[in-house]
């Protein structure tokens, strides 16, 4: 196993992790920004008002994007297992 192959595997794993994290965090960030703007406009300072919508959007994102995320992880893992003989030899 050469250092180049290790770096390639690590880089691809980081790209997948970044993709999965962004799918979850971007909708929560947008909802948090919208709720914060609403709170600033109405001068409501309730902590649960910002937490509950972000939680609901995150759960909805998991429900909608979950199968795609799982398929991405499974494909990457299968590719790694398939490439073991080529990486060792």
pLDDT tens by residue, 6-63: 999 999 999 999 999 999 999 999 999 999 999 889 888 887 888 999 999 999 999 9
Q: Are 87 and 7 in contact (CB under 8 A)?
A: no
* 3-class secondary-structure state, position 1: coil
Name the one residue in this structure whose structure tokens are 């991405």: 72
Structural domain boundaries, residue 79: 3-88
pTM for the predicted model, two decimal places: 0.80
Helix (H) or strand (E) holding 58: helix 47-88
Quote the percentage of the chain above a pLDDT of 70: 100
- Contact status, residue 23 vs residue 61, Cβ threshold 8 Å: yes
What pLDDT, on the 0 to 100 scale, is given for residue 45?
Answer: 82
Domain count, the chain: 1
* Residue 54 near residue 31, CB atoms below 8 Å: yes
Both tokens assigned to 70: 């799982």
The pLDDT of residue 28 = 95
Q: What is the pLDDT of residue 8?
A: 92
43 secondary structure, DSSP code: T
Q: Read off the pLDDT of each residue in 74-89 and give the average, rounded to a whole number.
A: 91
């Amino acid at each position: 196993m050469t250092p180049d192959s290790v770096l390639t595997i690590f880089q691809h794993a980081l790209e997948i992790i970044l993709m999965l994290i962004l799918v979850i965090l971007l909708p929560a960030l947008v909802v948090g920004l919208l709720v914060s703007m609403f709170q600033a406009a109405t001068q409501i300072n309730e902590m649960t008002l910002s937490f509950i919508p972000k939680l609901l959007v995150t759960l909805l994102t998991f429900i909608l994007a979950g199968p795609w995320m799982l398929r991405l992880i499974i494909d990457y893992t299968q590719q790694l297992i398939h490439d073991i003989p080529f990486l060792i030899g």
